[in-house]
A and B are shown apart, each in its own frame.
Chain A
Amino acid sequence: MRERIYTIIEKSQDHDTISKVYDWYIICIACLSVIPLMFRESTSAITTLETITVYLLFLDYILRWITQDYRAKKHSPWAFLIYPITPFAIMDLISILPSIGLLPKSFMILRLLRLTKVVHYSKSFQHVVNVFKNERKTLLSVLLIAIFYILVSALIMFVYEPKSTFGNFFDALYWATTALTTVGYGDVFPHTDIGKLISMISSLFGVAVIAMPAGIVTGGFLDEIHRDIEEKEKRKIERKKAKEEALHETK
């Protein structure tokens, strides 16, 4: 029984329809379970939705726990004992606890961790995660450049601008970040000429800094999709070959 449960709750293989249905079911439940967060006052319908979704997510947690030995490929009681302290299990439990009154109301936002299930099961999210993994060096260097520029421009602003505009360094950091990302809320702006010059450079530099990672991620995403399609086609051809061979042998 546990072996079958394990194949169902794990990420679906091409031929396992029940497992595929289970993946979609968990994604739907995870999405539904955050709906109560959108309402300030709770109605009976919201409470019912909360109860049902929490229970279904908890069932998934239990099923994962009782099949942990198959996942860990280690048939020993340790597999079961270790499961609650694995990162995925901790995240699952923390996302459930605020709904059952074991954590104070202020921890309600932890329920958003349920959405990690969507990330876990969704192929598109997996592609994005893979892109970030593959391009982490490039993205990290762009991020470092951005952070360095934000710090330098914030320091210049903080030194040259009057106290009335940038009361503390955090204000300067806030301005530098909004200027570099070209958001520019306009609530804090420079008054001196040097400040205005830095602002102009930030806007120009910001376009380049923001466009670079966007291009890297888009390129990587397309590569991932192409790779996925190629793998699918390869598998198709292999299955076809295997079928033909089987047919040939029976003849």
Chain B
Amino acid sequence: MKQNNVRRYASFMLIGVALNLGLYQIAHIFHLPLWMDSIGTAYVAILLEPTAGLLVAFATNFYQAAIIYDSSSLVYYATSAMAALCIGILMRKNGELCWKRLGKAIACYFVCATLIATLLTIWRTSGVPDSGWERSFFETALGWGLPAPLACLYGTAILKFFDSLLLLVVLPILHTCTPKKYRTITLPQIVSWKHPYFHSKTEE
């Protein structure tokens, strides 16, 4: 990477981490039923590339584990990573950013992150969420007579749903506010089998 590019990547990744942590603190202070700690990750994954988003998610998760929780929260990195992967990859068509795909990408993120978070909670705590809002929704669902795993899924899904809605609104705004010269225009697509990038490389 050229020096300018390194600087651009480093700056936006720092901004991404700051966004994640800042918004997470806001949600925490105002007791909102949201996590809001994946907005920076998704923003960087769109603006730069999914790999950068993965690193932002990692830094955020590390800070949260070291300062707020402990090493057991490491497993939830998988859900933050989903934001970088689903949004960073699915938003691109032949390597170019395609805003028409935003809804599909966020829906995919919602489904994957909810399932992964639920499975991890079931594995770690036998399905009893340890965060305030999730616990509250979980208990409501239990009151309806739902079994514990489904109640856990419900509790997790509500928070992830609000998170996804927020992403749907905030991401285009953040991207529009970013000066054009700082945006990555095209990237080699890494999920398509048919993409010429892979064929040319494999033939080599």
Contact = CB atoms under 8 A, between A and B. Distances in A.
A2 B51 contact: yes
Interface residues of B, number: 28
Nearest to B199: A75
B202 interface: yes
A47 interface: yes
Q: Majority SS of interface residues in chain A? A: helix
Given A75-B198, A76-B193, A77-B190, A1 B1 contact: yes
B62 interface: yes
Nearest to A65: B54
Contact of A75 (B71, B74, B201): B201
A59 B58 contact: yes
Interface residues of A, number: 26
A55 B197 contact: no
A100 B73 CA distance: 7
When A and B form their complex, which 8 residue pairs have the shortest distance between CB atoms, in order from nearest?
A: A75-B201, A101-B72, A51-B71, A75-B198, A100-B74, A55-B62, A54-B71, A100-B72
Interface of A: 1-2, 4-5, 47-48, 50-52, 54-55, 58-59, 62, 66, 69, 74-77, 80, 96, 99-102
Contacts of B71: 47, 50-51, 54-55, 99-101
B139 interface: no
Contact of A74 (B58, B70, B202): B202
Contacts of A62: 54, 58, 77, 81
B54 A66 contact: yes
A52 B65 CA distance: 9
Given A54-B71, A59-B58, 9 more contacts: A55-B65, A58-B77, A62-B77, A62-B81, A69-B190, A77-B193, A101-B71, A101-B72, A101-B124
